[in-house]
Structure 1
């Protein structure tokens, strides 16, 4: 039917089967469960799947069957999980009251809920995230999971990162990095972008005021060095700095 999408809520590893039978999207409960558990490697391994599968996943942090995200995820973990979930390929699925930090799960049979105060900081975070999701690169760009390697011998905390990149046909680039762990972590992110050598680049975080200038030769050879506090993240636009 033109203009109509079918979404299946299905489990037991039947998501791919239903996608092949004509469903436009299937619930990504596996990603939700792994984010909830808070272990980084299983989350990263979930993104090893092919894009023909991932692009048909409906990704969410709460729905009418689950506890509210504001209850399930502590604040900083909530934001980190949202960055991973909604900046990945696929359908972004939001639930009524999620942006305001509602805590009471409402039965769909009741059709009403208690009045709750709005979590203004969480609402502001989602407002920035929704603005970012309007960016054309997150709708028509190419997504790629990235490798994060140890920043020095014996530093195992690189395993705590999830990083991926978006590229548009006209050369625009976004880099998403998340330390999905309750401890400070360091790593080098291997960048997939070509032709970085010989230029200077500004990494401008689209979800904060942070901005960093980096040498393209170093970015191309070693990657981008990161040192992030627990559950922190960056969404960098990588922009060439024209010589003066």
Structure 2
């Protein structure tokens, strides 16, 4: 879905990618500590592995940590079965891949969960580590594809909203200069930015006319002092810088 503004779409992609964790998150849920430890050791190199000993505890972990790529849950647990727990995660985290571990045949629950899209795959216990790794690898690829599709839809809608706002601003303003500040706010809202500066150019140099939307104090000559701005002007290309210490 590439029907948006090319430069803005490129910037949006870079910003979304910068917000992704270096390792995807995984949540493992089992009331047996030995199984939790085994799952943790199996996947800790490739995932940020979160652990919970019950469905209720797992829901609390998700409330605190947010979306995870993969959930691996035991089926037979006290108070809340694995399929019941997983069904509760679907509304808030539809893209998450859910894998159920079962040591017994509970065909009705498993078939219903799989058919309703609540469970990606089920693995019988005791599981084969190589088989489980392969299933998780495929699940992670599927999750990434779903996230990519969701992000493309979000970017497209954000650009539609931004263009609509820009058109409204342009129609209501008397001059280019008076458009700058409301447009800066529109860009800031679209990119979830704390600050946005729109400054006109004259002969490929920054002019004095500018519009600023900010949530904190910045230097009046911020753009003139930023080497990235000069590089963008020189190469006539949008530039994106991400603080890797916070990404």
TM over 0.5: no
Q: What TM-score, normalized by structure 2, do the two folds share?
A: 0.23
User: So what's the TM-score if we normalise by structure 1?
Assistant: 0.23
**Structure possessing the higher radius of gyration over alpha carbons:** 2
